[in-house]
Amino acid sequence: MKRLISFLLLLFLSACTIAVVETPSVNLSNSTPTAVPENQVTLRSLADRKDFGIGAAVALGPLRRDRTYSQVLAGEFNQIMPENAMKFQALQPERDRFNFKGADDIVDFANEHNMKMFGHTLVWQRGLADWLKAGDWTREELIEILRNHIQTVVSRYRGRIYAWDVVNEALDTDSSLRELIWSRGIGPEYIELSYRWAHEADPNAKLFYNEYDPGGWGAQSGQKVDALYRLVADLKERNVPLDGVGLQMHLRLDDAPTYEGLKQSLERLAELDLQIQITETDVRMGYQGEPSPEQLQQQASIYKDLIQACLDVPKCTGFWFWGFTDRYTWVSSFMGQSGAPLIFDQYYRPKPAYDAIAQAIQAATR
């Protein structure tokens, strides 16, 4: 009954201002979000009991202007990371001129709501500033630019960010080392250097490597799993300060991994004595109009398989959604339609996927 009352309140707040997914919310940035009651069963309360991380990527605009977004975020998740506010271009739009306003807002929100903050991402082939892409840099100049960026950012949030995605997507689609400005200009050692610089800036922060595979790291992802294993094993052998691996899960209904296939991949990586987290999870549905009940159930089944595989591997310590409501999803702007990929619909109503996730966490024997 308590959950029903809270849900109806959220529905009322949303319905007052929401017409379609792209419609902006009423500006409530000056209002303090109402906390979810402590005795209400949420994903956060269930995960806290299991000492398990349940997280969501945060879009800065909705966080600032949509009160319901902030309420659900603080009530349902115990860790957050920024979608874009900590990428290179956002933080250093001009050389040696840093802009931390957006990142600070997200870090402050996490601290105010007793949520763990995960930094994303220090080194990536995208999200780079125009001045960096346009420059004709020597190797020494690129080393100094990357070192300065990493250490400036990590030092600023020392003690407030518990973990960082240091390097993101260093492997190409064919599992070779991706060609990007850092690998071309510095060499493959840019990866090792990045972790050492980040560790110098905050020795207590957990440092992760984050990677994408279109097959979702199941049985069909053998080549990519092999390449990822070799990469992180080599870093570990050379005593590079690497603490964990993130496996991205941007999926469709027709390309998701099986529970067995994903669990096998997780267990293999766990042999390296690293934390593993399932990251950037969304499951797109192809449809015209509203998704059918069958599609919603299929989506829920995929979500349950993903989190169940993580819960069943002790080294898998967290599960992340890339966003949490269909109202705000990167898929809309990137692909022209949302595909309703997340666990809350555009009106913040929990979908069958939400219930599947909650049931899996509640039943876990961690």
Q: Residue 239 corresponds to which tokens in the numbers above?
A: 């005593």
Average pLDDT, integer, range 216-233? 91
Residue pair 201/166 in contact (Cβ under 8 Å)? The answer is: no
Query: Which member of 76, 280, 290, 294 is catalytic?
Result: 280
Query: What pLDDT is stored for residue 247 in this prediction?
Result: 98
pLDDT, tens digit (0-9, with 9 covering 90-100), for 153-171: 999 999 999 999 999 999 9
Residue pair 324/343 in contact (Cβ under 8 Å)? The answer is: yes
Examine the pLDDT at 38 and tell me if it is beyond 80. Answer: no
In this prediction, what percent of the chain has a pLDDT beyond 70? 89
Q: Could you give the angle at which helices 67-76 and 2-15 cross, rounded to 10 degrees? A: 150
pLDDT, tens digit (0-9, with 9 covering 90-100), for 126-151: 999 999 999 999 999 999 999 999 99
* Sign, Cα dihedral of 157, 161, 162, 168: negative
> For this structure, is 169 an active site residue?
yes
Query: Which member of 76, 83, 169, 211 is catalytic?
Result: 169
Task: Tell me the sheet residues that pair with 245.
Answer: 209, 276
User: In whole numbers, what is the pLDDT of the chain averaged over residues?
Assistant: 90
pLDDT, tens digit (0-9, with 9 covering 90-100), for 265-306: 999 999 999 999 999 999 999 876 789 999 999 999 999 999
> For this structure, is 140 an active site residue?
no
Weakest mean pLDDT among 10-19, 57-66, 91-100, 109-118: 10-19
Domains, the chain, in order of start with CATH, read 2-363 (3.20.20.80)
pLDDT, tens digit (0-9, with 9 covering 90-100), for 172-184: 999 999 999 999 9
pTM: 0.89
Weakest mean pLDDT among 11-15, 200-204, 249-253, 335-339: 11-15
Query: What pLDDT is stored for residue 335 in this prediction?
Result: 72
Query: What pLDDT is stored for residue 39 in this prediction?
Result: 65
